[in-house]
């Protein structure tokens, strides 16, 4: 069960950053597709292959992390979200000992644009000690790898979360506001931090269905959100044996090979008018 907290200072920082970004010429309206964004056959569909990081499409987070507690502090660092030059997004979590216990430099990236009903697909490898996509690293406790849709205090939140201490488990959760939640804890039989997996959710007005490597693994018809939301990718620290595990000094890396979006066909969706809006931080801890 998640415990959710909101920090006013973080909200103000992110709102200021987002409003500044939206007011700049590069953020005012989504540009035409560039090389890193491949259009698919369905109108409005796209695939991001992270050949480079387009600041008009993706915004790195820079705010004090929601995980602050005795013994654990830190921030999201923009430099910890980068592309490797070989078609992968790398999100780094760097932990070090400090006077207050553990200090974390985490990473988060979000879309500049909101998206509504449709299929979202993430080709990703959860956190490990390897930043090399061709080499498996060691999976360590003390972190969460996340890919999700989020807006406005969980008015819409559709989560994929993978715990460092339980890398063979896929955590799926759907929020329609802070008090309405459906979730599933899904054993997968494989370490999600040892190799790339394709994880999808299909968001319809009346249901959300999750898929792992093309196989349906969970569906809910309860608490279905309706508001278009930002795409979020992040890695952040934990110091709980019940959620994520106990972090220790060192670095781990979440890798994303691609992100795809395919809107529902016309007539099945009413919320797919893409829009830009202020960013509100996502913060889930247990």
What local confidence, expressed as pLDDT, does residue 17 receive? 40
What local confidence, expressed as pLDDT, does residue 266 receive? 74
What local confidence, expressed as pLDDT, does residue 42 receive? 56
- CATH at residue 66: 2.60.120.200
Residues of the chain with confidence (pLDDT) below 70:
1-43, 267-286
- The Cα 273–Cα 255 span in angstroms is 29
Residue 191's domain comprises: 3-285
Q: Is the Cβ–Cβ distance between 234 and 105 less than 8 Å?
A: no
Name the phi and psi angles at 20, rounded to 5.
Answer: -65, -45
pTM over 0.85: no
Q: If we measure between CA atoms, which residue out of 278, 260, 277 comes closest to residue 39?
A: 260
What local confidence, expressed as pLDDT, does residue 267 receive? 67
Q: If we measure between CA atoms, which residue out of 277, 280, 60, 66 comes closest to residue 152?
A: 280
What local confidence, expressed as pLDDT, does residue 30 receive? 35
What local confidence, expressed as pLDDT, does residue 110 receive? 97
Q: Is the Cβ–Cβ distance between 201 and 209 less than 8 Å?
A: yes
Q: How many domains does the chain have?
A: 1
What local confidence, expressed as pLDDT, does residue 181 receive? 95
What local confidence, expressed as pLDDT, does residue 166 receive? 98
């Amino acid at each position: 069960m998640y415990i959710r907290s909101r920090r006013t200072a973080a909200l103000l920082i992110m709102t200021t950053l987002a409003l500044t970004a939206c007011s700049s010429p590069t953020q005012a309206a989504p540009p035409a597709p560039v090389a890193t964004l491949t259009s698919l056959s369905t109108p409005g569909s796209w695939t991001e292959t992270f050949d480079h990081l387009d600041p008009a499409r993706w915004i790195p987070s820079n705010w004090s992390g929601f995980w602050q507690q005795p013994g654990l502090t830190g921030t999201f660092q923009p430099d910890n979200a980068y592309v490797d030059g070989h078609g992968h997004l790398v999100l780094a979590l760097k932990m070090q000992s400090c006077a207050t216990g553990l200090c974390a430099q985490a990473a988060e990236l979000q879309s500049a644009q909101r998206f509504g009903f449709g299929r979202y697909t993430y080709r990703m490898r959860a956190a490990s000690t390897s930043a090399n996509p061709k080499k498996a690293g060691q999976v360590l406790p003390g972190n969460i790898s996340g890919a999700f849709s989020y807006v406005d205090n969980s008015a819409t939140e559709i989560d994929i979360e993978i715990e460092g201490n339980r890398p063979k488990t896929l955590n799926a959760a759907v929020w329609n506001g802070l008090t309405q939640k459906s979730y599933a804890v899904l054993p997968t039989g494989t370490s999600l931090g040892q190799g790339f997996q394709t994880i999808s959710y299909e968001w319809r007005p009346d249901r959300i269905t999750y898929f792992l490597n093309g196989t349906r693994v969970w569906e809910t018809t309860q608490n279905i959100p309706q508001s278009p939301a930002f795409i979020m990718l992040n890695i952040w620290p934990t110091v709980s044996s019940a959620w994520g595990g106990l972090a220790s000094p060192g670095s781990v890396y979440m890798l994303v090979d691609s992100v795809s979006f395919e809107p529902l066909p016309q007539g099945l969706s009413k919320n797919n008018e893409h829009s830009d809006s202020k960013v509100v931080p996502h913060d889930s801890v247990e």
